[in-house]
């Protein structure tokens, strides 16, 4: 089953091309769901499951995988569907999000598809499990629902947006007060974390839910004659988003003479050396894994120090 995944080298060729690969799977019914292959380490049969006392209701237990203890999360129950019953033939998807590794119990893996982000659309605004989706698409005339894993994980282990007092007392950060930043992300959980953290610095925030909306905002400001480096202190953009991803957004910014000097931070749940190399490839100024409030403030400080060095 692990062979369903291609090598990372092959997948990185999609970066900057506004393309992605989705791992499709089922949960407790016939509906197809998906997550980005970049988040997936491996797919395998459920090893021996150990139950833990006082565990979260969505956590089935833990498994030991090559010396690493991983929680196993019932993804079906976590998004409001009927629970799955773990057994010897069950399938888990091992993933890495925001520097943490966990396994998701699923009903069965379907296949991997290579798609263009333009074919990935925002979910409809309705009740039920739609709150747990970041996007939808169609594959062979079948609806595929792309799960907001950040929301699932935040409900199990709530994020902390509080910046340490030591950081906030830094006089350099006073220069951030009243400045404007653009936040680009399709996850409400990630946007809330950004707003909660940056709000402690007194900055004004503009928000776009995907790269295309952000690009249109930027071009609209530029068309009105605004000097973009005067208007915006910086941009924080997610990597994965419907219609246009953060890599393509950065490429478009660098290709527009009016925008190319903007300071762009890739702010993503994808972690590791992969993103660091992709930052250089598409021209981002910085990279930060999500849900690290102190490090987020450090990045703002670095940007402010560039102004000081230039003056």
Q: What are phi and psi of 76, to 5 degrees?
A: -65, -50
The pLDDT, as a whole number, for residue 209 is 93
Positive or negative torsion for Cα 161, 166, 167, 171: positive
Per-residue pLDDT at 4 = 56
Concatenate the DSSP letters of all residues of 145-159 into one string: EEE-HHHHHHHHS--
Does residue 202 contact residue 176 with C-beta atoms inside 8 Å? yes
Residues 6+ apart with CB under 8 A from 273: none
- Residue 292 Cα distances to 70, 89, 163, 245, angstroms: 21, 37, 9, 22
Contacts of 14 (CB under 8 A, 6+ apart): 20, 21, 114
Of 40, 23, 27, give the one whose Cα is nearest residue 76. 27
Q: For the chain, list the domains and their CATH numbers.
A: 5-156 (2.40.50.180), 165-310 (3.40.50.2300)
In this structure, what token pair is assigned to residue 276? 């660091």
The per-residue pLDDT for 2 is 47
- The confidence score (pLDDT) of residue 274 equals 56
Mean pLDDT by 10 residues, the chain (311 residues): 51 64 93 91 93 90 93 96 92 89 95 91 73 91 93 90 94 96 93 96 97 97 97 95 91 96 90 62 86 95 89 64
Q: How far is CA 118 from the centre of its chain?
A: 17
């Amino acid at each position: 089953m692990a062979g369903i995944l291609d090598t990372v080298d092959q997948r990185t060729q999609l970066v900057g091309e506004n393309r992605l690969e989705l791992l499709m799977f089922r949960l407790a019914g016939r509906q197809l769901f998906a997550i980005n292959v970049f988040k997936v380490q491996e797919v395998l049969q459920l090893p021996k499951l150990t139950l833990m006392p006082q565990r979260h209701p969505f956590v089935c237990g833990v498994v030991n995988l090559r010396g690493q203890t991983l929680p196993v999360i019932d993804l079906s129950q976590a998004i409001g569907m009927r629970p799955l019953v773990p057994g010897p033939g069950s399938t888990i998807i091992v993933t890495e999000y925001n520097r943490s590794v966990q396994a998701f119990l699923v009903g069965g893996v379907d296949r991997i598809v290579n798609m263009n982000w333009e074919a990935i659309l925002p979910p409809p605004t309705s009740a039920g499990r739609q709150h747990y989706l970041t996007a939808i698409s169609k594959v062979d005339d079948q609806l595929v629902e792309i799960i907001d894993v950040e929301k699932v994980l935040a409900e199990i282990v709530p994020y902390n947006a509080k910046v340490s007092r030591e950081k906030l007392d830094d006089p350099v950060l006073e220069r951030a007060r009243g400045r404007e930043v653009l936040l680009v992300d399709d996850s409400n959980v990630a946007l809330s974390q950004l707003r909660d953290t940056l709000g402690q610095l007194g900055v004004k925030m503009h928000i776009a839910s995907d790269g295309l909306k952000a690009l249109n905002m930027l071009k609209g400001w530029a068309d009105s004659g605004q000097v973009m480096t005067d208007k915006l202190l910086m941009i924080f953009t997610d990597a994965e988003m419907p219609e246009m991803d953060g890599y393509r957004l950065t490429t478009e910014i660098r290709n527009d003479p009016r925008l190319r000097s903007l300071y762009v931070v890739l702010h993503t749940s994808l972690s590791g050396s992969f993103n660091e190399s992709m930052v250089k490839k598409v021209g981002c100024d910085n990279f930060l894994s999500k849900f690290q409030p102190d490090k987020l403030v450090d990045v703002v400080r670095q940007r402010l120090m560039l102004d000081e060095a230039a003056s």
